[in-house]
Chain A
Amino acid sequence: MADRRATPELVGQRVAAAIPTPRPAARRLPPAALLLVGAVALLVLAGRRLGYGLAEYAQLLVDGLATGSVYALVALGFVVVYRVSGVINFAQGAFVMLGPMLCISLLGPLPDTAAGLLLAALVATAACAASGALLHRLALHPLRDAAPLARIIVTVGAYVSIQGIALKVWGPRPYVLPAFTTLSMADRLVDVGGVVVQAQSLWVWGTALVTFAALGAFFEGTVAGKAMRACAVNRTAARLVGIQVDRMGTLAFALAATLGAVGGIVLAPSTRPTFDMGLELGLKGFVASIAGGLVSFPGAVAGGIALGVLESLWAGVVLAGFKDLFAFAMLVILLLTFPRSRAASEESA
């Protein structure tokens, strides 16, 4: 402790980053799960008053799942960066916007076919990954020894800049990315026993599942993935065994940007992308990642989906104006029920 007190730069670290040690998830699940079940039960009861049947609830659930999957993808980006470099990356939302915007611009000269769309999406995602890596090399790498707060402020600056550039390039108008199934603006609606699902929602779920699986395989099965996990557990030790920690940071930013861009692109056909869509989605992804503990991948996915479903239930049953109030109240209560959010102290950093 003594040497840390002597370096003012490190002091702020504890302001922003008392990094909790990852612990087995099982210990914190019961209170959180109970809370969720309780909230859902209350909302379901309230819905009975409106005369909702099974079909209505299924519809609300399905609605929430699609939004929740995108929250989960964005949340994963936060977790990747946080675990490897200890930074909350507020620029994450910028990639959620850049992905679809670049995709739409690239699609312009390409033929309106599935191959054209796929090509545009891939190039846009790659470009986002590259800009994520670039952001790390240019703006964050030089501050690798600074307090996390300074680096967080840098990501805020990056977000502000990227959104400003996007406004200059694309203007304030909304854009259209064609639905993946029909390759046109109008999406196909799938009716399953009275529950209506946009075909695009199926794409969202599919992409999310594939991404989760790929991410799992990457961290479990590849050298780079294992190296990144090592960085997350203990940076100094990772450096000692020969892992290039800085390079892993760059990789983490690229990966996070990729996740954000993928989330943005699969969501884009159901919305109308604008230059400022990143703020809202970034914030919701951040909330989801925190609800999942900020260090846990399954936690982020669960947090994102839970957030989406709860929001949907609340909006469908009570009043949508207070939807966010409900989401954030749940979040605060959830945080208070995490044993480790209180028990973990800066000593574990």
Chain B
Amino acid sequence: MTARLRSPWTAVPCAVAVVAVLDLVEPFGVRLGHLTGGLLTADLAVRAGLFTIVLVGLNLLMGYAGQASLGQAAFYGMGAFASAILTVRAHVLGIPPEVVSAWWWPWVVMAAAACAVAGFAWVVGWVILRLRGHYLAMATLGLGIMVYIVLRENLGMPHLNLTGGFDGIVGVPRLRLGSAALWPVGVYLLVVWAAALACVALGENVVHSPAGRALRAIHGSEAAAESVGVDVGALKARIFALSAGLASVAGSLYAHFQAAVVPDTFGFVPSLELVVMSAVGGMRTVWGAPLGATVVLLLEQLLRTHLLGLVPAVSGELEPVVFGVLLILLMRFRPSGLVQAAPAP
């Protein structure tokens, strides 16, 4: 698997991180963001890092275990809203303010939310992972939309106004470590990418563990895997829980980055976009995750900020058209994503 580490593609996320950090440090007063024509920004790099964390889980689930998920944004959203509610609206739940304002509180919330979301996914996984193929995809889609509606409709308790309905929650505080604020964005970038690379390492670990081989066996044939002693149901539920937990962590980090969360960020279309990113990067590899996230975000940024400069009259309407066509072309020439999977051992 070192072969994959040497793949030229792995340089891309690293390059993004390096360039964006330099952009903030501004050596000799030169902003590297300007040198790249404003294409690479710290903001973009943070978002790419966040999506990387989600996509590592999604790739393990879809690419390795072969279990489709069209509802992954729901877990991302559950993490984000858990962090937002328990830091901004905690007083409604009767949590004392001195606890909420402690620097460790958001980290505790993040960990607890990840565990809770993973547990939720594990329970749900036992039920819905019995479904296969499109049926599973559809069930996860249904699940994702249900979670979105519950967030949007204030968890069904409008009097508490925990999620803020359509408008969501504004004012999520920045993360701190002791008395040191993990901010401005350049510092947060390092935090997010440290987490993202840790997740990639975790993913590589899972892939090369006995569990990873069992996962690929499930992907090949569940019946065959079962016959050689793999506990298929338990393993699928566990990998589903892991992917949900990772998405939840990414969601928490997102909430503290964006400082404002709205339910629309976690609906059906975002779930579909996660699958698109995963497919663009190559879902049969862990390294496809950072690449897919980075390439898709860069592409969108390029269209948004540079297409406008080329054709001043369009502003807006043509961006989706070009994006769609590029997506088609990408799939035309790299149908299994930018990072090709290594041949099965």
Contacts and interface: CB of A to CB of B under 8 A. Distances in A.
Q: Do chains A and B touch in the complex (CB under 8 A)?
A: yes
Interface of A: 1, 5-6, 8-9, 11-12, 14-20, 88, 90, 139, 142-143, 146-147, 149-151, 153-154, 156-165, 167-168, 279, 283, 286-287, 290, 294, 321-322, 324-325, 328-329, 331-332, 335-336, 338, 341-342, 344-347
6 shortest A-B CB distances, which residue pairs? A18-B133, A161-B324, A157-B327, A164-B320, A146-B335, A160-B324
A154 B328 contact: yes
A280 B195 CA distance: 36
B194 interface: no
Contacts of B43: none
B128 A332 contact: yes
B120 interface: no
Given A11-B66, A158-B328, A164-B324, 13 more contacts: A1-B221, A12-B336, A143-B332, A146-B331, A149-B283, A161-B325, A164-B317, A325-B149, A325-B150, A328-B145, A335-B135, A335-B139, A342-B132
Contact of A157 (B135, B143, B284, B328): B328
Nearest to B129: A342
A164 B318 contact: yes
A93 to B, nearest CB: 12
A331 B138 contact: yes
Interface string B126-164: 011011111101110111011001100100100000000
A90 B325 CA distance: 15
Contact of B336 (A1, A150, A331): A150
Nearest to A91: B324
B133 A167 contact: no
Contacts of A335: 128, 131, 135, 138-139, 142
B47 to A, nearest CB: 19
B219 A143 contact: no
A138 to B, nearest CB: 8
Contact of B335 (A5, A150, A336): A150
Given A161-B324, A164-B319, A332 B134 contact: no
Nearest to A9: B336
Contact of A168 (B156, B321, B323): B321
B305 interface: no
A245 B340 CA distance: 28
A5 B220 contact: yes
Nearest to A149: B279
Nearest to A86: B134
Contacts of A279: 269
Nearest to B341: A8
B268 interface: yes
Contact of A342 (B130, B220, B323): B130
Contact of A163 (B62, B127, B320, B344): B320
B313 to A, nearest CB: 11
B131 A336 contact: yes
Contact of B317 (A12, A168, A329): A168
